[in-house]
Chain A
Amino acid sequence: MSKYPEKEAYNLGIIIDKNTHAIVQGITGAQGSFHTRLMLEYGTKIVAGVTPGKGGTKVCNIPVYDTVEEAQENHPVDASIIFVPAPFAADAALEALENGIKILVIITEHIPIKDSIEIMEYAKRVNATIIGPNTPGIITPGKSKLGIMPAHIFKPGNIGMVSRSGTLTYEIASSLTRKNLGQSTCLGLGGDPITGLNFIDTLKMFENDSQTRAIVLIGEIGGNLEELTAEYIAREKYPKPIVAFIAGRSAPPGKRMGHAGAIVMGKAGTAESKIKALKEAGVKVAEKPSDVAKLLRI
């Protein structure tokens, strides 16, 4: 790691860096205020919070506004992290998008599919990046985090991680960290069927990120995005090594395994199909979480 000359130039991360100015929508809630404190402690530039009806108050010494519009009149804003409860989350996300915010991290779980489709359609039109919903967020270790992940298990390095699962990311990241394999950026796509960024979008970003040498891809049952990603990897002859882990080999069909998106429908969305497709595309697939570190070393 010493080969990187300057700390400043090292580890810029994808999507966010230490100069990203963010607001927290839903900052006055239990989760919102708790994680605002942790993000500030990590060095993230949280400039303002928004909770309708709580304008004029403060959380962790950060000013709270009633609207995103007002927050923007008073602060530079590049990104928003959303903790707003599911029934109101779409309104919050659309408010951020209409006010020109181009990076959204939606932590909220249980947002209806119809609402997510509406958010994603708007984001596509205005060329905004959405992480989530139902995501732990994004962390560029040592620089910045817009999310709820426990920071101490990560360390700066050159492994990029992209995942559909929060705690499984923590499990694998902490095993990498213990084995001195630091991370460039770790990004949770979210456990919902409809999410903003997907594996392919993120792989493209990691490809262009000079700090990322190898990628860990953590998928799970449900949908066929892992299969489509495998097709992409093979077709584009993806230049960086990828190690994958797919959760849900023991999941029965028709049952939703915790995540809204984790469901095998008939024969579609099985772990076997994803593992097979990834292996055929030349991706090393780990049998157990701890094997990921071993496969990265080979």
Chain B
Amino acid sequence: MKLFEYEAKNILSAYGIPTPKGELATSVDQARKIAEKLRPPLVVKAQVLVAGRGKAGGILFADSLAKVKKVAEKLLKMEIKGIPVKSIWIEEKIEIKKELYFGITTDRLNKSYVAIASSIGGMDIEEIAEKHPEKIIKFLINPKMGLRSFHARQIARKMGYEGSQLNAIGKIFERLYKINIDYDAELIEMNPIVETAEGKFVAADARIIIDDNALFRHPQYKKRFFESESELFPQEIEAMKNNLAYVKLEGNIGVIGNGAGLVMATLDTIQLYGGKPANFLDVGGGASAEKIAAALKIVLSDPDVKTLFINILGGITRCDEVAKGILEAKKKIEVTKPMVIRLVGTNEEEGKRILTEVGIPVLDSMEEAAEKVVEISRKGGL
């Protein structure tokens, strides 16, 4: 779960990491009141979770109260990549001497956390790694040991700092690691962390992604996650409520399958035959008829879907349950779009019987079925 910039900055600040002085506003009036308390020049930043906010014009500057009012008005009416801006963060602009990067993420090979630092910041870490690979400092964290003060100082030294500056930035690194652990982050970064004209360090932007699987330990964010539904497609919200893994894609062939790998391979196969999948939907293992019906409802509610491909390889999932779910969905909602069904595995005879009895054909091969659904989609449905 991605946190908004203002949430991340408030957390950093609570852990003693310097951030620019600022507050959140949801109206122009509120923005003006906040601006009165701050020292210009100010930065006004749209609070959205989509990437590329700056390039999309979501970060504006203001050197007077009148200007704050103007840019706040503009931002609060703005949509960034289709997402309406509901709130803005207003903060004091800092005088930048140098932009740096510091972040912590997971290292799959070493099964641990890894800190990544760079004396160049302000662009994507991948871009830094590509353009200035020599500036990337990777420090593997021993999970039992954690990131200690001396580790943080070692990293600071490699970034070129010494004396009191080394101590100051080292403390920030140490605190960020503590946040990483306390908040179950799967990614936490300060990009940039800025060295100011006075030689101090300030986290000018902060990003925290909380591990979705750890949200049960962070109920306040879980609550917020379901309340701020604006950045999700309606199908994504419905899927979440039904414990289904769903991702909206750009094509017109709706896809339902069991198991993440199988569904991914189904999408790939559709694409291989020249078709375009409209979504990823994994019903998981051992899905009941109700769950299958819910999945069908979600996929068919997407107006982009012209044809539907159901690919089930029954292991723990029983083919007869899947067949019953398809019939159940057909009873509840009008299914006018053509369906191609591939159904093999546990109880496949029973499943096939249920469907063929009502005139729904069932195929055995995933590839044959993919080819067929692509052919139908080319004809623009029925």
Contact between chains at A167 and B211 (CB < 8 Å): no
Chain A residues within 8 Å of B285, by CB? 148, 166-167
User: What is the bound-complex CA distance between A62 and B269, given in angstroms?
Assistant: 44
Instruction: A87 to B144: give the CA distance in the assembly, Å.
Output: 20
**Stretch from B58-66, B253-261, B291-299, B302-310 contacting the other chain:** B253-261
Interface size class of A (residues with CB under 8 A): 35 or more
Q: Chain A, 11-35, contact with B by CB distance < 8 Å: what is the 0/1 string?
A: 0000000000000000000010000
Q: How far is the CA of A49 from the CA of B314 in the complex (A)?
A: 27
Q: Mark A273-292, 1 if CB is under 8 A from B, else 0.
A: 00000000000000111100
When A114-B214, A121-B111, A150-B345 are in contact, do A221 and B315 touch as well, CB less than 8 Å? no
CB within 8 A of A198: which of B109, B144, B186, B313? Answer: B109
Complex CA distance for A118 and B143, rounded to whole angstroms: 7
In the complex, are the beta carbons of A262 and B108 less than 8 A apart?
Answer: no
Q: How far is the CA of A228 from the CA of B217 in the complex (A)?
A: 33
**Which residues of A in the span 231-266 have a Cβ within 8 Å of any Cβ on B?**
245, 247-252, 254-262, 266
CB < 8 Å: which of B109, B277, B346 contacts A150?
B346
Q: Taking the complex as formed, is B106 at the interface, i.e. its CB lies under 8 A from any CB of chain A?
A: yes
Alpha-carbon distance A260/B211, docked complex (angstroms):
9
A171 touches B108 (CB 8 A): no
Is A40's beta carbon under 8 Å from chain B?
A: no
Bound-state CA distance A123–B261 (Å) is 27
**A194-B282 in contact given A248-B268, A254-B51 (Cβ < 8 Å):** no
- Answer yes or no: A120 CB below 8 A from chain B CBs: yes
List which B170-216 residues lie within 8 A (CB) of chain A: 181, 184, 186, 211-214, 216
B211 touching A150, Cβ below 8 Å: no
Q: Within 8 Å of chain A (Cβ to Cβ): is B333?
A: no
Q: Tell me which residues from 153 to 170 in chain A have a Cβ below 8 Å from any Cβ of chain B.
A: 153, 163-170
Residue in A closest to B261 when the chains form the complex, CB atoms: A165
Interchain CB contact under 8 A, A166 and B111:
no
Which residue of A has the minimal Cβ distance to B270?
A250
Interface flags, B243-274, vs A, CB<8A=1, else 0: 00101010000000111111111011111100
Dominant SS among interface residues on chain B: mixed
Contact: A170 with B365, CB < 8 Å? no
Q: Give the Cβ gap from A116 to chain B, nearest Cβ, in Å.
A: 8
Chain B proximity of A11: nearest CB distance (Å): 22
Residue in A87, A191, A288 whose CB lies within 8 Å of B216: A87
Dominant secondary structure at the A interface:
loop
Count of B residues near A, CB < 8 Å?
54
Q: Is the CB of B124 within 8 A of A167?
A: no
Does any Cβ of B come within 8 Å of A55's Cβ? no
Docked complex Cα distance between A287 and B112 (Å): 33
- A residues less than 8 Å from B268 (CB atoms): 247-250, 271
A245 closest partner in B (C-beta)? B265
Shortest beta-carbon distance, B364 to chain A, in Å? 10
| Bound CA span A153–B314, Å | 10
The 8 closest A-B pairs by CB, nearest first: A165-B261, A167-B259, A258-B260, A168-B261, A112-B214, A167-B262, A247-B264, A150-B315
Show the binding face of A for B, using Cβ within 8 Å.
31, 86-87, 110-118, 120-121, 124, 136, 148-150, 153, 163-171, 174, 191, 193-195, 198, 218, 220-221, 223-225, 228, 245, 247-252, 254-262, 266-268, 271, 287-290
What would 26 A/B residue contacts be, using CB atoms closer than 8 Å? A111-B213, A113-B106, A148-B315, A150-B316, A163-B261, A164-B261, A165-B259, A165-B260, A166-B285, A167-B259, A167-B285, A168-B264, A170-B259, A170-B262, A170-B315, A171-B265, A174-B345, A195-B111, A198-B108, A220-B261, A224-B109, A250-B249, A255-B280, A258-B282, A267-B126, A288-B265
Question: Measuring CB to CB, which residues of chain B are less than 8 angstroms from any residue of chain A?
Answer: 51, 106, 108-109, 111-113, 124, 126, 142-144, 181, 184, 186, 211-214, 216-217, 245, 247, 249, 257-265, 267-272, 277, 280, 282, 285-286, 313-316, 344-346, 365-367
